[in-house]
Amino acid sequence: MSNYQKLSALGIVCKDTSAQQKVNCPFCKDTRSNKRDKSLSVNVELGVYKCHYPNCEAFMGKSVNKSERKVEYIVPVSKLQKVSDKVLAWFEKRGISNNTLLKLKVTEEECYFPQAGESRNAICFNYFRGNDLVNIKYRDAAKNFRMVKDAELILYNLNSIEGYNWCVIVEGEMDALSLEEAQIYPVVSVPNGATKGNQNLKYLDNCIDAFADKEKVIIFTDNDSSGLSLREELTRRLGREKIWYVNIPDGCKDANEILVNYGVELLQKVIAEAYQIPIEGIEKVNDVKEKISDIYLNGFPHGLKVGYNQFDEHLSFRGSEFTIITGTPNAGKSTFLNNLLVRLSAKHSWKIAMFSPEKQPTEILFSELAEIFIGKPFFSFVPTAKMSQEEVEKARDFVEEFFFFMKIDEMDVTIDGILDKAAELVKRNGINCLVIDPWNYVEHQVPKGMSETQYISEALTKVKRFKDRYGVHVFVIAHPTKIRKENGVYVMPTLYDIAGSAHFFNKCDNGFVAYRDYVSGQTLINVQKIRWSFIGRVGEVPFIYDVKTKRFAEVGDDSKGILLDEYETRQQEYEDEDIPF
| pLDDT (0 to 100) of residue 489 | 82
Coil vs helix vs strand at 561: coil
Q: Which of 515, 513, 511, 514 is nearest to 530 (CA)?
A: 511
Whole-number pLDDT of residue 69: 42
What SS3 state is found at 581? coil
> Cβ neighbours of residue 262 under 8 Å, at least 6 residues apart?
249, 252
Amino acid at 164: Y
Number of Cβ atoms within 10 Å of the Cβ of 494: 15
Is residue 375 a contact partner of residue 467, using CB atoms and an 8 Å limit? no
Q: Which DSSP state fits 15?
A: S
Question: What is the structure's pLDDT at 575?
Answer: 52
Task: Please provide residue 54's backbone torsions phi and psi, each rounded to the nearest 5 degrees.
Answer: -60, -30
Q: What is residue 297's predicted lDDT score, i.e. its pLDDT?
A: 84
| Whole-number pLDDT of residue 482 | 76
Residue 278: is the preceding peptide bond cis (ω within 30°)? Answer: no
Helices (H), 198-352: 202-207, 225-238, 255-262, 264-272, 289-298, 309-314, 333-348
Taking only the tens place, the pLDDT of each residue in 16-28 is: 766 678 888 998 8
Tell me if 248 sits within 8 A of 219, measured CB to CB: no
Per-residue pLDDT tens for 365-378?
A: 999 999 999 999 99
- Mean pLDDT in consecutive groups of 10 residues from the start of the chain, 581 residues: 82 78 87 80 82 78 62 79 92 96 94 89 94 94 90 96 95 96 96 73 90 93 88 91 92 94 96 85 76 83 91 95 94 96 94 93 94 92 88 94 92 93 93 95 89 92 94 95 81 89 91 93 96 95 93 82 67 49 30
Instruction: State the pTM of this model.
Output: 0.72
What's residue 581's pLDDT? 30
Please answer whether residues 323 and 473 qualify as being in contact, where contact means their C-beta atoms are separated by less than 8 angstroms: yes
Distance in angstroms (rounded) separating the CA atoms of residues 319 and 198: 10
Which contacts qualify for 100-105: CB closer than 8 Å, 24 or more apart? 100/177, 100/180, 100/181, 101/177, 103/180, 104/157, 104/176, 104/177, 104/180, 105/80
CA distances in angstroms from 239 to 65, 167, 208, 321, 570, listed in the order given: 18, 14, 12, 19, 30
pLDDT in tens, 394-411: 999 999 999 999 998 888
